[in-house]
């Protein structure tokens, strides 16, 4: 560890004392009265208290240079050196002050500090410094940063804007989650033999297509990768007949769950569950289709900020490859 020499601190104390009193020319007048008057001024002005503040710092520096000494040693050391420092400061400062102030002028200064105005000045000065210095330091630092970093204002504005946007998104997400529909556990069917592992695709896979009497049921195997997770299937989903171009717009979730709010699921971490959407009945001639999740106005209202932006779209699907009969029994999502 680097050694510190305490005389540098003493020089700082002396320099501080020299700023305490006004300056004027005079003839030398070295007397004990001068020293006593100077000491009195230091006490009245609060300058002597500076020694009390600095002495512990000086002592801590000395302790760093002599780590083997115990507390008893330093207590005795402190008693002796506190008085030595005070006397040394007076001895050093007296001839310097004599060059600039006469004894009479020094007495006038002492009289000022003893007066009501002087006492108030001392108290006010300390209060002003306590209040003003932090403001001054902050202002100077800001100005320095502006000079060193001209782009700082722009960066601070951008950071503030980003923080505001983050808070807005966070507030909106909380509202969406609080209004979300929690899927009842007894209505959820787990895809057998299928396990989600970290790093695998989070996009649902197409599982089955069921032609029914009044509609078409499309079922997806939805991966669940958190213990508590939100799900969203856009009202923009549609089936497009590859041959005719006919479109079949989604009607909603199987079982009647609303597409106007998020779905949430809990307790199925690292599993796959069935999620089914209902579409209008496909014509018998429909063989090849695209199942697309196209943008919808509701997306902006319902999607949380952590959405990955990936649409769930399935191209060139042969209906017969996924077709199942109505005898396949799955539990439904009830609203």
Residues pairing with 317 in the sheet? 289
Which of 141-150, 176-185, 241-250 has the lowest average pLDDT? 141-150
Find the helix or strand (DSSP H, E) in which 215 lies.
strand 215-224
Q: What is the pTM of this model?
A: 0.54
Integer CA distances (angstroms), 5 to 79, 85, 194, 302, in order: 20, 15, 73, 67
Integer CA distances (angstroms), 66 to 1, 11, 54, 187, in order: 12, 22, 19, 75
86-95, 116-125, 264-273: range with highest mean pLDDT:
264-273
Q: What percent of the chain has pLDDT over 90?
A: 44
Closest among 293, 223, 233, 222 to 261, alpha carbons compared: 233
Confidence of residue 322 (pLDDT cuts 50, 70, 90): very high
Q: What angle do CA 257, 234, 225 make, to 5 degrees?
A: 80
For residue 70 the two structure tokens come to 């115990």
Q: Which residues have CB under 8 Å from 22's CB, separation 6+?
A: 101, 109
Which residue has 């600039």 as its token pair? 100
Q: What pLDDT digit, counting tens, does each position of 126-176 carry?
A: 777 778 878 887 887 777 777 766 666 777 788 888 899 999 999 999 999
**Mean pLDDT for the chain overall:** 82
Which residue has 């030595």 as its token pair? 84
């Amino acid at each position: 560890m680097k050694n510190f020499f305490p005389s540098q601190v003493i020089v700082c104390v002396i320099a501080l004392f020299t700023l305490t009193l006004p300056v004027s020319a005079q003839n030398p007048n070295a007397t004990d009265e001068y020293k006593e008057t100077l000491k009195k001024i230091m006490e009245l002005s609060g300058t002597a208290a500076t020694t009390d503040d600095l002495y512990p710092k000086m002592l801590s520096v000395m302790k760093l240079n002599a780590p083997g000494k115990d507390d008893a040693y330093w207590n005795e050391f402190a008693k002796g050196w506190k008085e030595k420092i005070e006397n040394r400061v007076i001895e050093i400062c007296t001839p310097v002050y004599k060059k600039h102030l006469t004894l009479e002028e020094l007495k006038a200064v002492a009289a000022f500090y003893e007066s009501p105005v002087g006492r108030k000045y001392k108290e006010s000065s300390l209060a002003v410094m306590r209040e003003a210095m932090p403001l001054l330091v902050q202002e100077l630092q800001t100005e320095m940063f502006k000079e060193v970093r001209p782009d700082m204002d722009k960066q601070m504005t951008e950071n503030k804007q980003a923080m505001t946007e983050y808070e807005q998104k966070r507030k909106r997400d909380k509202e969406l989650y609080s209004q979300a529909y929690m899927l009842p556990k007894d209505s959820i069917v787990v895809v057998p033999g299928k396990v989600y592992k970290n790093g695998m695709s989070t996009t649902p896979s197409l599982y089955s297509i069921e032609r029914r009497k009044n509609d078409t049921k499309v079922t997806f195997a939805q991966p669940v990768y958190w213990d508590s997770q939100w799900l969203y299937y856009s009202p923009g989903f549609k089936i497009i007949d590859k041959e005719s171009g006919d479109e079949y717009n989604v009607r909603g979730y199987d079982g009647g769950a609303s597409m106007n709010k998020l779905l949430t699921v809990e307790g199925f971490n690292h599993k796959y569950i069935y999620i089914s959407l209902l579409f209008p009945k496909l014509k018998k001639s429909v063989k090849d289709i695209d199942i697309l999740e196209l943008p919808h106005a509701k997306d902006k209202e319902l999607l949380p900020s952590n959405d990955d932006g990936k649409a769930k779209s399935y191209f060139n699907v042969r209906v017969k490859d996924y077709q199942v009969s109505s005898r396949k029994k799955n539990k439904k999502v009830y609203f």
